């Protein structure tokens, strides 16, 4: 399966703390993207990082990419209760346009 894996599967933190989620994948990629999904809803695109980039920021989000280890991390700083959601990484392979999603991390931010 091309599906990546994320860890942890579930994460519970206090509001104001930072949350870090990791994603590993299996094949060479063009880009890696992170999405958020609130319970039972569609996916919201958060950030895209290209294979030739190592780090990217967007507001309270920081994404890193290590293509040698085939891994990425998403850091959410100063978390808020509204950040409670599932977070997925998705990769598109060099050989196609399909996206393959990681297993997801369920984040709970406690007010």
Partner 1 sequence: SAVISQKPSRDICQRGTSLTIQCQVDSQVTMMFWYRQQPGQSLTLIATANQGSEATYESGFVIDKFPISRPNLTFSTLTVSNMSPEDSSIYLCSVAITDTQYFGPGTRLTVL
Among 25, 63, 88, 107, binds partner 1 (CB under 8 A): 88
Cα–Cα distance for residue pair 105/20, rounded to 1 Å: 10
Q: Which is nearer to partner 1, 83 or 88 (CB)?
A: 88
Residue 8 preceded by cis peptide, ω within 30: yes
Nearer to partner 1, 3 or 12 (CB): 3
Residues 68, 95: Cα–Cα separation, whole Å: 18
φ and ψ of 12, to 5 deg: -125, 125
For partner 1, which stretch binds (CB under 8 A), given 17-25, 54-62, 73-81, 88-96? 88-96
31 is a site residue for partner 1 (CB under 8 A): yes
Q: Are 3 and 51 in contact (CB under 8 A)?
A: no
State in angstroms the smallest separation of the CB of 16 from partner 1.
Answer: 28
List of residues contacting partner 1 (CB under 8 A): 3, 30-31, 33, 35, 40-45, 48, 50, 88, 90, 92, 97-104
């Amino acid at each position: 399966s091309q599906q990546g894996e994320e860890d942890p599967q579930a994460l519970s933190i206090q509001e104001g703390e930072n949350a870090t989620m990791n994603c590993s994948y299996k094949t060479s990629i063009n880009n890696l993207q992170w999405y958020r999904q609130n319970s039972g809803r569609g996916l919201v695109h958060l950030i895209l990082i290209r294979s030739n980039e190592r780090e990217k920021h967007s507001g309270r989000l920081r994404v890193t990419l290590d293509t040698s280890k085939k891994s990425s991390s998403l850091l959410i700083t100063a978390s808020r209760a509204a950040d409670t959601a599932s977070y997925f990484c998705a990769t598109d392979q060099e050989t196609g346009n399909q996206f393959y999603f990681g297993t997801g991390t369920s984040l709970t931010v406690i007010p």
